[in-house]
Amino acid sequence: MKLSGKWVLITGASSGFGAAAARAFGAAGANLLIGARRVDRLAETAESARAAGAASAHFHALDVSSTASVQAFAEWVKSITPTVDVLINNAGGAHGLDPVSTARDEDWEAMVQSNFLGLLRVTRAILPLLPHHAGASILNIGSIAGHVAYEGGAAYCGVKAAERSVTGALRLELNGTGIRVGSLDPGLAETEFSMVRFKGDATRAAKVYEGTEPLVGEDIAETLVWMASRPPHVCIDEVVIKPTDQAAIHKLYRRTKTA
Ligand code: NDP
Ligand code: 8X3
């Protein structure tokens, strides 16, 4: 399916995967509708998407953890276009890496609100705009953390496992509409993810990627473009994408420095 002229909505497009996806769908000639909380960063993403070839790039503040914000965002979308062809639910992330015994309510709540409830809220608000039988797609960003649990990841792994359940339930609910529902589940990728997880501790964040070659936003973006551009009768249910250095969630190859 050609993406040129299609309307693509991306949540969490102020950095990382979402910003890279805006540029990649822009390069394919799409019209972009992007949201996140940091509006200054959205403006930069929109500018780079236009430079990449986007038919248009519109941005608006969005906090997926607030129903009122999601509703206001959806009203803004409707003021621009009556249809959205591709919805990318990407907003989210991890807060903390503490074991259950010492983890904080505010971190759990932030993860549930953005990764899980945010996904549900945005989908509910935008679903009426997705055309039937025209190759429309809902693409949700999961994680390998939704497949395999790790220490300190109880809540994050939990919300990403929930993303897989939401994706599966939506695919059943939308069967017969022609709307495709897929999940893209990445492994280790260098974005602002670890800076957010470790609350701005740049040294701790950098250690996550030390000696290894992680994925980058563009790897995820080009896969999203591929998923959305399959012929309308083809639904890519689930893609797991990891760095070659990451054989499994706990097995990450790190090169030792030779001075
Ligand atoms: P980044 O931190 O770079 O990007 C996260 C994006 O989500 C930002 O644009 C941020 O925008 C947005 N966001 C977070 N909370 C909210 C909110 N409440 N409302 C609106 N937007 C929000 O990290 P990534 O690009 O890596 O993360 C994107 C997705 O990919 C997340 O769902 C993450 O869990 C997932 N993921 C990441 C992996 C990785 O290793 N990097 C691997 C697997 C999955 P703002 O702060 O401006 O609101
Ligand atoms: C991000 C990947 O392994 O850090 O979802 O949880 S991981």
For 94-105, give the DSSP string.
Answer: ------TTT--H
- Retrieve residue 4's tokens: 């040129």
Ligand 1 centre to CA of 12 (Å) is 6
Residue linked to tokens 């941005």: 59
Ligand 1 centre to CA of 3 (Å) is 24
Question: Which of 97, 114, 193 should be mutated for ligand 2, with most atoms under 8 A from CB?
Answer: 193
The residue-averaged pLDDT of 215-237 equals: 98
pLDDT tens track for 184-196: 999 999 999 999 9
| Non-local CB neighbours of 236 within 8 Å, separated by 6+ positions | 180, 182, 226, 227, 230
Q: Which domains does the chain have, with CATH numbers?
A: 7-252 (3.40.50.720)
64 lines ligand 1 (CB under 6 A): yes
pLDDT at 216 over 80: yes
Q: What is the pLDDT of residue 196?
A: 98
**What is the signed CA dihedral for 128, 130, 133, 136, rounded to 10 degrees?**
-160
| Residue nearest atom 15 of ligand 1, based on CA coordinates | 92
In 3-state terms, what secondary structure has residue 137?
Answer: strand
144 lines ligand 2 (CB under 6 A): yes
Of 60, 83, 57, nearest in space to 71 by CA: 60
**Residue-averaged pLDDT of the chain:** 98
pLDDT at 208 over 90: yes
> Which residues is 61 bridged to in the sheet?
36
pLDDT tens track for 160-174: 999 999 999 999 999
Rounded to whole angstroms, the Cα distance separating 57 from 229 reads 19
Rounded to whole angstroms, the Cα distance separating 11 from 83 reads 16
Q: What percentage of the chain exceeds 90 in pLDDT?
A: 98
Closest ligand 1 atom number to CA of residue 156: 34
Active-site residue 156, yes or no?
Answer: yes
pLDDT tens track for 27-77: 999 999 999 999 999 999 999 999 999 999 999 999 999 999 999 999 999
38 lines ligand 1 (CB under 6 A): yes
Contact 37, 92 (CB under 8 A): no
- Retrieve residue 243's tokens: 């760095």
Confidence at 256, pLDDT banded by 50, 70, 90: confident
Q: What is the pLDDT of residue 258?
A: 64
88 lines ligand 2 (CB under 6 A): no
Rounded to whole angstroms, the Cα distance separating 78 from 82 reads 6
Contact 187, 241 (CB under 8 A): yes
